[in-house]
Amino acid sequence: MYKIQYSFFRKITLCCLLTTFILQAQTHVYNDVKIDSLTFANTRKELANISTEKFLKKVFKNTTTELPYRLLLPQQMDTGKKYPLVITFHNSTRIGTDNENQLEPLARIWLRDTVYNKFGCFVIAPQFKERSSNYINNSNGILTSEPSKDVSALLELIRNIEQEYPNIDKNRIYLVGYSMGASTAQNLMSIAPEKFAAMVSVAAVPDFSGLNKIKNKNIWLIHGAQDTENPYKGSEALFQNLKNNKQLLFTTYTNLNHNNITIPMLLDDTIPKWLFEKKN
């Protein structure tokens, strides 16, 4: 049952992506896949069983901030080759300082053999000791996000990593996040849009502060219509505010909620494939 259902929603996801590639315009895709409890449990279990030892343990420090992070290097790295850099942001349940808990499922997909062997890249997974994005209602009653003070430290961290590893492709730096982490990805894209080639934002509370700056950026918004924790209408509003962005894809999972929204993209290469075709 698990394999049959997973194969089904994987085909739907790939079909949706194909539609986007053909249209090359702002696109809203609706996906009606359902996730049963067995599929949810088996998918999460498979990701949880992957060893995270390949993620090196690091700590970034400056005069005001101490930020634990994990760093994944490309397999059999060739110093003469350029590699993308992915920054993946955790949700609020992973807040802490143990430098372990931030490796949630969306961070672990980069360790899966089929992804790690095929999509050579650097991956940074920072861990925040408190909320990286804070939420407030705007004048239209839409919950919006604002970055914490530690988010700006990430730009310095990225510069340091670029200096340490000059084979990072500066035209292919990507942001990926879920829930609070997706909001943080949006915050960072708005702060420094010139730095990032693309972003995958899953179940975010949106950031409307830099609409003019991100109007031509490669953005994939993903949200479950049944999400009551980070309301779906926020992503709808962001999509409408970026209606002239031809590089924007919005995928609505009509039957999914905040807890199961990541399941359809954890066991294939949908996210890496979409990201790695994008560049500044």
DSSP conformation class of 258 = T
- CA distances, 98 to each of 57, 105, 255 (Å): 10, 17, 34
Per-residue pLDDT, 8: 42
Per-residue pLDDT, 275: 98
Per-residue pLDDT, 25: 61
* Mean pLDDT within 96-108: 97
* Mean pLDDT within 205-211: 97
Whether pLDDT at 24 is above 90:
no
Per-residue pLDDT, 43: 97
**Phi/psi of residue 104, nearest 5 degrees:** -80, 175
- CA distances, 8 to each of 11, 35, 66, 104 (Å): 5, 11, 44, 24
* Mean pLDDT within 89-104: 97
Q: Is residue 158 within 8 Å of residue 124, measured between CB atoms?
A: yes
